[in-house]
Amino acid sequence: MTQSGVPPIPLRLGHRPLIAGLVVPWITAHTPDGRYRFGTVDADRAAQALHRRWCQICGQRLQTRFVFAMRDRDLDRSIAPEAAMHPECFHYSITACPMLAGRMDHYRAGGHAEVFAGTGIVLGDPAGRRAGQAAEPWNAVWARDYTVITDPHAHLPAALLLPDQILRVRPIAHPESRQNRQTPHNPTIH
């Protein structure tokens, strides 16, 4: 963390736009006039990232290491609903994203839909982060590859991880264990 409370930005993410010092992920939805909304997902970009093996944060090609953020119930069925990340992009997001960093008890209430009404942008919700839903523990899953399937529950593209493709699974620290290095909570940023 820097003194301003925002995490340092890895070189790979240097080209991405910033809001309040935080990198806007590549899959984040934006309106035609360029307004981004943290926490929204552009469904088309989310699908492209999965199919093309692009990182959902920087939008660049993934090579040999694919890091997925998965909840326990996704892990149980070996299906990641969101595209993978580079290791450095993943480390940045768990520091910068209040949800993954465990700094929010509940998903923020909605309110994005009207911003995108009439823009032609389809908002996706591949991870099922419905507003007001209780937050769940997340895992970091390192994989050597994956297969794109249609998630039988969400009917959206998702990554199926075969047992021999999974290299490592590690829980992302729970809120309590991160309390001491918590930064001032900014309720407007996700």
If the CB atoms of residues 91 and 178 are measured against Zn ion, the closer one turns out to be: 91
Shortest Cβ 125–Zn ion spacing (Å): 22
Shortest Cβ 62–Zn ion spacing (Å): 7
Shortest Cβ 98–Zn ion spacing (Å): 19
If the CB atoms of residues 47 and 57 are measured against Zn ion, the closer one turns out to be: 57
The footprint of Zn ion on residues 82-101 (CB under 5 A) is: 86, 89
Query: Whole-angstrom distance between the N-terminal and C-terminal Cα of the chain?
Result: 17
Shortest Cβ 126–Zn ion spacing (Å): 17
Shortest Cβ 174–Zn ion spacing (Å): 25
The footprint of Zn ion on residues 129-148 (CB under 5 A) is: none
| Strands 138-143 and 66-71, bridge-based pairing | antiparallel
Q: Which of 22, 41, 58, 156 binds Zn ion (CB under 5 A)?
A: 58
- Tell me the residue number closest to Zn ion, measured at CB: 55
Would you count residue 27 as binding Zn ion (CB under 5 A)?
Answer: no
Would you count residue 55 as binding Zn ion (CB under 5 A)?
Answer: yes
Q: Using CB under 5 A, count the residues that bind Zn ion.
A: 5
Instruction: In whole angstroms, give the CA distance from residue 72 to residue 80.
Output: 10
In this chain, which stretch among 64-72, 78-86, 134-142, 159-167 interacts with Zn ion, using CB under 5 A? Answer: 78-86
Q: Which residues lie near Zn ion (CB under 5 A)? A: 55, 57-58, 86, 89
